[in-house]
Amino acid sequence: MIIDAHAHTGGEFNNPDNIIKILDTHGVAKVLLCPSIKNTLKIGNAPHLEIPLIKLHPYYGWLYVNPACRLCSQLLSNKGDGNLLVIEFARRYPDRIIPVFWINPNKENILEYIVNAKNKYNIKAIKFQQPCDNFSFNDNIVYQIAELCANLNIIIFVHPHSAREVKRFIDLVRAHPKTIFIMLHISGLEIINKFNFIHNNLYLEISPHSFLSKERIMLAYKKFGATHIIFGSDTPNDRRALSNNIKKISNMNFTLKEKELIFGANIARLLKLETN
C-alpha cells in the first residue's frame, strides 16, 4: 500500500476529484493533505530543477527552497482558511484524504485552536511551516504545542528554516519523547548526522523528487533505517511529483519489506490507520 504522506492543495490537487483520479492512476491508497501557502490553489506547473551541481550542496533543501517559500508567503494575498479547505476535501473522500492542519504558533489562542480541531475534526497531524511563519523551535509556545500533541495523539510535520533552527528542533525532539515528529524533505539531515542524533520519535520524509538525490535518501536510511523513512510527494511543488518519487523509491536498493515500510506501512502505523 502506498500512502503519500505529504502533499498540498493546489495545482493538480486543486479539487478532491482530481486528487482521487491521480491517486488511482498511480495506485496510491491515501494522501495526507495540507494547505498551500496562503491557501493558493492556482499553482502553475512546477519548474524542473534537477541541477546536479546545485543538488550536491548538503543544504540544498533550505538554501534554495526556503527563501522562495518565505517570499511567496510575504507576496501572496490570503485566499481563505486552508485548514477548512482540507477538511472540505477530506469530507468528500474520508477514506482517501487525511487532513493535515497548517499551524502557526504565533496564532492567538493556538492551543485552544488545536484542541478544538481535534474534538471537531479528529485531526491526526499538524504541520509547522517555519520558512513562512516567523517563529523559533525554542519558543515556549512550540514546546507547549509539542506536549499537547503528545496528549492528543497528533503527529507534527516540520519544515525547518535554517541550520540553527534544526539544532533547536533537535532539542525540541529530545524534550518530548512521546511526541511523533516527521522532518519534511530530510532538510536537516546533515545537522542531525553532525550531532549523531537518533531518537525513536523522529522520522524523515523524502520529497520532493527533484530536490533529493538517491545518495541523501540512502544516507537517511543508513542513519535511521527503513522503519523511520516516510514516503511523500510534495505535490504540486514538483513536476510529476507523485509518479517520479514512486519510480525513484521503487528503483532503489531496498528490500521488498523495506519498500513496504517506506511507501506506507510506517505512516499507517503512526496514524493507526486501517490497512485492510
The Cα 16–Cα 9 span in angstroms is 9
Which pLDDT score, from 0 to 100, does residue 83 have? 94
The Cα 124–Cα 164 span in angstroms is 28
Which pLDDT score, from 0 to 100, does residue 247 have? 96
Per-residue model confidence as pLDDT tens digits over 116-128: 999 999 999 999 9
Per-residue model confidence as pLDDT tens digits over 34-77: 998 655 555 554 444 454 544 555 555 544 465 556 555 555 55
Which pLDDT score, from 0 to 100, does residue 88 have? 95
Which pLDDT score, from 0 to 100, does residue 53 have? 47
Which pLDDT score, from 0 to 100, does residue 79 have? 59
Domains of the chain from N-terminus onward = 2-271 (3.20.20.140)
Distances (CA, A) of 17 to 90, 240, 244: 11, 18, 21
What is the amino acid identity at position 150? A
Which pLDDT score, from 0 to 100, does residue 250 have? 97
On the CB side of 51, how many CA atoms lie within 13 Å of its CA?
9
The Cα 73–Cα 2 span in angstroms is 31
Give me the residues of the chain with pLDDT under 50, please.
45-49, 51, 53-54, 62-64
